[in-house]
Structure 1
């Protein structure tokens, strides 16, 4: 059970760790896509502003304007294609995350030729090896285990070419194994991470944009050779627009607002630190958190105005100091369900152990009970047998006095044996809920006095002193006289048994509100706190060290507790070691 529980904990840890890694990848892709979108919008905005300025100049050649608009169109199409690639990447990662949440172990198959050669070919499937790797990684000064699972081939065979460019995942469906032939598994196929046909299209449009920009420059030179003063002035203004300092080209409010919108679109609503730099100079910084050195894992950077003829010197950076909290917040339901499952398993485990120990203890107590019962039954049976054999002797049978005494012994032992049997049967009936109690008016004062009178010989034999304080003015209750008398008999009998010297017993009754309290106190050996919590359990008997004269089945106080509860009352016990014990019974008075 312990090994199984540890295995479940390990699987939960692996599953949560894989989900965390996948969510971190999704988060990184989303933030990068948002930054790229903001940079593209800022650049597009500047081009639109330039186009507007050029449109206001009525003497601007329409050919230059069309080329500028064509540049804008190409840039827009390129950015759309890039955004589409980013969306495809995000969609792929979300599919991958869903697959990881559905199955505890998912192994990506990066090489489709490996899949076609080994996994998809039944003849070579037994050559697939499942590798369980464990590496120790130092992360921020702390040591952690980096566990991973991979597939490899134990022997090379002729390679089968891949039929498509799908991304496939190997999913074990059974217990751990070292190769795929003895393992029930499934293979899940996803479309590629990105549209491979789109990359050549992006490259083609970028090439067109470069040629168009170059042609624009050549056309401008040609115009300059024509010595058109107005065009020369406009072209100079355009060149100066691109050469302005970065601080004049960026709109801080616009960039911050657009970045918040893009992040919100991708379900990222967490505060962040924002920074814009021109080479090594910080132009703008916005901090939701105290200034601290950003870690590479939480810092995301993109270039501004990448389409300039010269290499861009502007940089837009965003930093999430609470990235771990964001990811853990997205996994709240998963973590809660995993923790709840582990708590349930731990609770079941603990309950099982507790039940086993309790059953073992009950078994030992029942064994002790059977031994005591055997001893208690054996004594009267042996006495009856001896007396019966004596009566068979003609000499003893002819002596009337001796025969009468032996017959009385047989009679007394039969009564004693019957009382033992009746006591055990009463407990059995209580357990099965078959014991039917009579409901009659009973005077507790009279009942207590009658029980003490019936036990006079036993009390005298043990040298016991009984102090009666029957002070209850109203002592009428509704209950079963026989069983309530047995309750008092058991309590007085225990007071006699567990007194080391001559028993000193006090019986008291008094009224408390609408109840009567019956107290049976002794000055015997008492009990410890541990014993007090167990005395009402069936078969439990207080250990008496080397004393073996305390007889019984361990059923008396269990019987007392059940009868009192059935009469609508409750019983409490107070005791100190070597100072005595006091039993208090509360019974409701007749309405």
Structure 2
């Protein structure tokens, strides 16, 4: 694979990864905004519920005081109880309506987060006429606009969508009161576009509120206004037959409403009810509480030391809103840790998003690493094929020349020369066979088809045998071999052929990578239940970077201007694999221009 192709793939994967990150950020941001809206609505609902309970509690206290005059004021008491009942019902109906709106808002926000462009169709008659009736669909136009807006010092693109009809026709009757949303799909061209040229879908959500509940609330509020139309004192006067004493008694009870605000407030009751209401809405977090009258702070309860609450984290409601005079007091709560609360509710979402990004980044890095590694292996295999061709070509050419010489009658008649040429052909055939055997062994190792025998092998004897078999090669290069076979227990369970090949490869490398007259030391020693075989030379050595690659297939250490170092780059890979299959380890120590030491550790036969 070319460098340009790899760079293109990396660029495309980077763009895709950044796109996923941007989408995740947008989704999490929209979810955070939705959670903040739901949190605000829940806290406000809890405050309103507590204020209603405090007012109801005071009314109930007033009702208890009025029981003393129950027989005299029975009709008025029923009237007050009826007012209380209607007010309670109105609050309950409003709470139901608020829950419906929150449910609708949640579905709408999910729809907005799912699609980039969502347009509500508020007029159901417009929908039935221009969307449901095929005759008028061609009259609908969709207008897409894109505007740059500066938000918090950053420029962002704000897209908007408009929907209109180019011709007025009689509107059809709506079949229901659902709210429908127009959602364009696929590519979007900014400007005005006819509906029939767009790929779109229509989603329907239930209405924001229940009309029946709305009408019921209005009806009960009218009932409440009628009940409150006549002043309470006039009613008492009528019931008492203008009895001054009775009027005086009831006026004393009405003084309950005129008590100081600090006496009307039960702080422990409000605190307990507020905790209960917040907990019922899944808000279990500390907060600061404040109760004040018109101008004075009467009570504070602080879990946080922050003095100046922000408008985004502060929630307030009026207390005793039913008083004839202006509002008597105000209840406020403050959540300084609102951000942490919202983020805590999004823990699973954040964790899954981060996990997904880490998986994508890991996959991206692994893919790039694999591509570069495969490219490197491909280059090494190409070098291996070229080198193998050269290695095979040399003995084949020598055999051909010797064979042609034997065809000459004069040379064939000379038995001494013929025998020498025959020996050359034999040696080159052996050399060629050894090359082929090395390649086949590596192929068997890769396919896991290499069957190793496990017989008793004396390592000291094996080392001696290998050195003896390489005597001519060692003499040719003027090598000096020092042997220290000090292992007292040298019997291992292994394959004698492949172990001898391992030692042959190590000695062959020691000869190849020594400048002149190689100085090689071979040692064996016992160590517990293991035997240590060391092959050391004083050759050209290796750098740290080369040392980390020597067991890779096809890797060959650069030898500078020397061109007499032959091989396929398979020897050390073969050594490492065979030793591991026999349950051993290979350790390498090397220093540039000072030599290399290979240490093989094999388990002794038990």
1:153 and 2:157 matched: no
CA contact 2:121–2:182 (8 Å) conserved in 1 = no
Of 164, 167, 188, the match for 2:176 = 164
Measured in 2, the distance between the counterparts of 1:501 and 1:290 equals 83
C-alpha deviation, 1:299, in angstroms: 1.2
Moved more, 1-10 or 563-572: 1-10
Q: Secondary structure at the match of 2:231?
A: helix
Measured in 1, the distance between the counterparts of 2:243 and 2:498 equals 126
Would the alpha carbon gap of residues 94 and 360 (structure 1) be closer, same or farther in structure 2, given more than 3 Å must change? same
Q: Secondary structure at the match of 2:566?
A: coil
Moved more, 457-466 or 50-59: 50-59
Would the alpha carbon gap of residues 185 and 352 (structure 1) be closer, same or farther in structure 2, given more than 3 Å must change? farther
C-alpha deviation, 1:117, in angstroms: 6.3
Measured in 1, the distance between the counterparts of 2:207 and 2:562 equals 85
Moved more, 28-37 or 62-71: 62-71
Measured in 1, the distance between the counterparts of 2:187 and 2:572 equals 53
Any residues of structure 2 matched to 1:37-52 within 5 Å, and which? 37-52=49-64
Q: Secondary structure at the match of 2:229?
A: helix
C-alpha deviation, 1:170, in angstroms: 4.9
Moved more, 78-87 or 422-431: 78-87
RMSD over aligned Cα atoms: 2.9
Q: Secondary structure at the match of 2:307?
A: coil
Measured in 2, the distance between the counterparts of 1:64 and 1:73 equals 14
Would the alpha carbon gap of residues 144 and 257 (structure 1) be closer, same or farther in structure 2, given more than 3 Å must change? farther
C-alpha deviation, 1:393, in angstroms: 3.2
Question: In structure 1, what is the equivalent of residue 545 of structure 2?
Answer: 530
Moved more, 316-325 or 181-190: 181-190
1:370 and 2:385 matched: yes
Q: Secondary structure at the match of 2:304?
A: coil
CA contact 1:527–1:577 (8 Å) conserved in 2 = yes
Of 206, 214, 228, the match for 1:199 = 214
Residues 151-193 of structure 1: CA deviation (Å, up to 9, x unaligned) = 3238745475654332334566767786776776543322112
Give the unaligned 5+ runs of structure 2: 1-12
C-alpha deviation, 1:519, in angstroms: 0.3
Residues 111-167 of structure 1: CA deviation (Å, up to 9, x unaligned) = 3456556665663498435667774422xxxx5677766532387454756543323
Question: In structure 1, what is the equivalent of residue 559 of structure 2?
Answer: 544
Q: Secondary structure at the match of 2:230?
A: helix
Would the alpha carbon gap of residues 325 and 549 (structure 1) be closer, same or farther in structure 2, given more than 3 Å must change? same
C-alpha deviation, 1:17, in angstroms: 1.7
1:128 and 2:138 matched: no
Would the alpha carbon gap of residues 528 and 174 (structure 1) be closer, same or farther in structure 2, given more than 3 Å must change? farther
Residues 236-288 of structure 1: CA deviation (Å, up to 9, x unaligned) = 32443222222121111111111111111111111111111112311111111
CA contact 2:455–2:495 (8 Å) conserved in 1 = yes
Q: Secondary structure at the match of 2:312?
A: helix
Question: In structure 1, what is the equivalent of residue 339 of structure 2?
Answer: 324
CA contact 1:67–1:216 (8 Å) conserved in 2 = no
Q: Secondary structure at the match of 1:215?
A: coil
1:107 and 2:118 matched: yes
Q: Secondary structure at the match of 1:296?
A: coil
Question: In structure 1, what is the equivalent of residue 5 of structure 2?
Answer: none
C-alpha deviation, 1:539, in angstroms: 0.8
Would the alpha carbon gap of residues 61 and 434 (structure 1) be closer, same or farther in structure 2, given more than 3 Å must change? closer
Measured in 1, the distance between the counterparts of 2:542 and 2:187 equals 54
C-alpha deviation, 1:566, in angstroms: 1.8
Q: Secondary structure at the match of 1:275?
A: strand
Number of positions where the alignment pairs a residue of Structure 1 with one of Structure 2: 586
Question: In structure 1, what is the equivalent of residue 472 of structure 2?
Answer: 457
Would the alpha carbon gap of residues 14 and 536 (structure 1) be closer, same or farther in structure 2, given more than 3 Å must change? same
Any residues of structure 2 matched to 1:188-337 within 5 Å, and which? 188-217=203-232, 219-220=234-235, 228-337=243-352
Question: In structure 2, what is the equivalent of residue 15 of structure 1?
Answer: 27
Would the alpha carbon gap of residues 116 and 542 (structure 1) be closer, same or farther in structure 2, given more than 3 Å must change? farther
